[in-house]
Structure 1
Amino acid sequence: MADGTPESAVVLVDGENIDATLGSSILRRRPDPKERPRWERLLDHLRDRWGTEVSGLFFLNSAFTPLPSSFVQALLNIGYQPVILAGPPEVKVVDVAIQRTLQALAERSTDVVLVSHDGDFLEDLRPLIDGQRRVAVVGFRELFNTGYSELVEHGLEILDLEDQVKAFNVTLPRVRVIPIDDFDPTVFLN
């Protein structure tokens, strides 16, 4: 850490939140395999963007998500550690595990990336924005909890999973604000 910047980053993926957001808010149906994020691209994007080693934890609830072994093996092959959780139905086990992980990261010198739109993590993410590390949230910009935008002035980066990370092989049918410099009318003229 010659310049004071951590030499590694950890990515925490809220698998339930991203899957639910993609299915219910964007596609309004269960995503086809070709419409799912290519999670290795997130790790590559962060390595290139921050020039650091990146590891990923992918949080899944075993009670609500059928976990095909092929998906778990694919996560392992691309550099994520699956964190498969179980608990009583009234406990949001993924949220609890991510909150505990964010709290544990406060004691470590590492950059932190949260992949979720959920506002339940704001209180545990806030102390990590300390000027010593880089902290980012990744998802669909127009669907983040508004509390994240309030943290941008304190140093939080907001990265769009489709537009910046380029994690998809297809263009998603999103309704969003387009900066005029990026506006291409041919996209709307079918």
Structure 2
Amino acid sequence: MTSEQTPGTTYVVVDGENIDATLGASILDGRPAPEQRPRWERLLDFAQRRYAQPTKGLFFLNASNGYLPMSFVQALLAIGYQPIPLSGGPGEKVVDIGIQRTLEAIASRSGDVLLASHDADFLPQVDTLLDGTRRVGLFAFREFVSSQYTPLRERGLEVFDLEDDVKAFNVVLPRVRIISLSDFDPLRYL
């Protein structure tokens, strides 16, 4: 966005299943406890501060089993997300398809996009969004972002680490990753 453009909207599109699965399987080696889950409102807050414009949070849920976790849906609504519970046939990746369609729809409008996912299934849509007229980023655990996104970083794709940049957690996660010496805090390991 150039300085002559007026602020628009930042769409925060959340693939909660992907973030939860990565957190549980790759970082915690088990189901996250409530205190180990992201504080989803911090993604909206980060987007608002980073891009200095209103945010629209879209949180995709798989409701194919006919179950809607109402307490979670109510919490999402209370913090400013629009829950999007999708259902489909057995084995159908309803959340991925819903997000792909949403990113395609955003491409025909103005607005910046922050996608919370590590999944390369969105690569074609993210590539299209990087048209030079908008800011596009990923919210993720940096070390688990699909390497297929690497060439898009040269075209402006930003990657914001959920723990380090967004501060989406109230606890320190047991991650093993490369740490810049300037960011190294030995007290974290003592």
TM-score interval (norm. to shorter): over 0.9
Provide the rounded CA distance (Å) in 2 between the counterparts of 1:80 and 1:154.
Answer: 29
- Partner of 2:133, secondary structure, is coil
Partner of 2:13: 12
Deviation of the 1:7 alpha carbon: 1.3
Letter in 1 for 2:147: T
Share of identical aligned residues, percent? 59
1:174 aligns with 2:175: yes
Partner of 1:95: 96
Provide the rounded CA distance (Å) in 2 between the counterparts of 1:173 and 1:119.
Answer: 24
Provide the rounded CA distance (Å) in 2 between the counterparts of 1:143 and 1:5.
Answer: 34
Deviation of the 1:6 alpha carbon: 4.6
Q: Do the aligned residues in 2 keep the contact of 1:7 with 1:53 (CA within 8 Å)?
A: yes
- Partner of 2:74, secondary structure, is helix
Provide the rounded CA distance (Å) in 2 between the counterparts of 1:111 and 1:32.
Answer: 32
Deviation of the 1:148 alpha carbon: 1.6
Deviation of the 1:149 alpha carbon: 2.0
Unaligned regions of 5+ residues in structure 1, if any?
A: none
Provide the rounded CA distance (Å) in 1 between the counterparts of 2:91 and 2:24.
Answer: 23
- Partner of 2:154, secondary structure, is helix
Letter in 1 for 2:184: F
Partner of 1:54: 55
Superposed CA offset, 1:35-82 (max 9, x none): 100011110111111101001100010136964211100000000000
Deviation of the 1:25 alpha carbon: 0.5
Provide the rounded CA distance (Å) in 1 between the counterparts of 2:28 and 2:67.
Answer: 20
Deviation of the 1:187 alpha carbon: 2.5
Partner of 2:188: 187
- Partner of 2:32, secondary structure, is coil
Partner of 2:117: 116
Q: Do the aligned residues in 1 keep the contact of 2:66 with 2:87 (CA within 8 Å)?
A: no
Deviation of the 1:5 alpha carbon: 5.6
Provide the rounded CA distance (Å) in 2 between the counterparts of 1:186 and 1:164.
Answer: 19
Unaligned regions of 5+ residues in structure 2, if any?
A: none
- Partner of 1:154, secondary structure, is coil
Q: Do the aligned residues in 2 keep the contact of 1:5 with 1:133 (CA within 8 Å)?
A: no
Letter in 1 for 2:105: A
Deviation of the 1:157 alpha carbon: 0.6
Provide the rounded CA distance (Å) in 2 between the counterparts of 1:114 and 1:80.
Answer: 14
Provide the rounded CA distance (Å) in 1 between the counterparts of 2:44 and 2:143.
Answer: 22
Q: Which runs of 4+ in 1 moved over 2 A?
A: 63-68, 184-189
For residues 63-102 of structure 1, what are the structure 2 equivalents within 5 Å? 63=64, 67-102=68-103
Provide the rounded CA distance (Å) in 2 between the counterparts of 1:178 and 1:21.
Answer: 20
Partner of 1:104: 105
Letter in 2 for 1:131: G
Letter in 2 for 1:104: A
- C-alpha change, 1:27 and 1:113, in structure 2 (3 Å) is same
Aligned CA-pair RMSD: 1.6
Provide the rounded CA distance (Å) in 1 between the counterparts of 2:147 and 2:34.
Answer: 30
Deviation of the 1:185 alpha carbon: 2.4
